[in-house]
Copies of this chain bind each other. A is one copy, B any other.
Amino acid sequence: MAVHGARSRSGGRPTLEEVAARAGVGRGTVSRVINGSPRVSDATRAAVEAAVAELGYVPNTAARALAANRTDAIALVVPEPETRFFAEPYFSDMLRGVGAELSETEMQLLLIFAGSDRERQRLAQYLAAHRVDGVLLVSVHADDPLPDLLSQLEIPAVISGRRSAEETLPSVDSDNYGGGRAAVEHLVSRGRSRIGHLAGRMDVYGAQRRVDGYRQGLRDAGREVDDRLIVPGDFTEEGGRRAMTLLLERFPDLDAVFAGSDVMAAGARQVLRESGRRIPDDVALIGYDDSAIARHMDPPLTSVRQPIEEMGRAMIDLLLGEIADRRPAASRGLEKRQLVLPAELVVRASS
């Protein structure tokens, strides 16, 4: 971590030019060595590397960005208030995956919150200035204008989840359909006969797919689907309580519930308890996300796990591809740019 060598005569940081003089080569050659071009002889490369070490040369990023028209930075944009970012494990997992994958490269990660209007304004300005080479968009709602802004500005972007079945942006999603199916399949195999579903917000595509999976799971078991067993919530605890209450009114003989999120499951649990029902003896309960809540619930909650960290890694891979690709476009189809990672049922005591 020491600063090498002496400062160049000019007093400031050494420049490419000075390294070139020191190594007895031209400026272009030093540039080639710095950027790892293969078109340099071994002897020359060694001489340049020695000069770089002696002078403690570090490239000037601003100059590089100006000349090459790239920034070597990407942004992780969180269109949420900061509080949610810290509260939900989703983001920290995502950040871990992204950070890990990025540490293999020279790219710098920027974390940008765009929860308030003011922050969004700043972000728009930021993007218009092209201060990043690409953007990772997490937790985007169906009607968010951000994705369009990005394509307008021709900034490569990858989105987590999809806004609809016809998502146009490169995306990384988890298999919400499969997750929903697996949950139901599990409940059926445990001998549960009347299985309700507390759905998430229906303007979130992933929530729709979980419902689809729930339906298919029942059909696979040769059962009929009664739509009154599906009650929409809004991903919140309060929404879970309301939906659960309604569901119990409709079906007092309910013996299993699949909730579209762990938080909703927590709300449902309260209502079930208050109604005198035991978990899992009377009613089995399954959540979604496998968050900390699931592990700490009493009893521990069976939940569907999304490989969030891995999704983060995949998003970076896709994004770097997009950035590298920048050809006349349409050279590759979208098929390869939309990933769906498997979801996995984590069975605990609640089911």
Contacts and interface: CB of A to CB of B under 8 A. Distances in A.
A125 interface: yes
A294 B149 CA distance: 44
Q: How many copies does the complex hold?
A: 2
Interface in A44-61: 56, 58-61
A122 B130 CA distance: 24
A111 B108 CA distance: 10
Contacts of A62: 62-63, 65-66, 71
Interface in A88-143: 92, 95-96, 99, 103, 108, 110-111, 113, 118-122, 124-126, 128-131
B149 A13 contact: no
A82 B103 CA distance: 14
A3 interface: yes
A67 to B, nearest CB: 9
Chain A's interface: helix, strand, loop or mixed, by majority?
helix
Contacts of A60: 66, 129-130
A3 to B, nearest CB: 6
Contact of A129 (B61, B125, B130, B149): B61
Contacts of A108: 110, 126, 131
A118 B100 CA distance: 11
Nearest to A128: B58
A175 B121 CA distance: 38
A92 B96 contact: no
A145 B71 contact: no
A271 to B, nearest CB: 23
B82 A1 contact: no
A149 B121 CA distance: 36
A152 interface: yes
A221 interface: no
Contacts of A149: 1, 3
B61 A131 contact: yes
6 contacts: A1-B149, A3-B128, A3-B153, A58-B129, A60-B129, A111-B111
Q: 5 nearest interchain CB pairs?
A: A62-B65, A62-B66, A86-B92, A1-B124, A58-B128
Given A3-B149, A62-B65, A108-B110, 9 more contacts: A1-B149, A3-B128, A13-B130, A58-B128, A58-B129, A60-B66, A62-B66, A83-B92, A86-B92
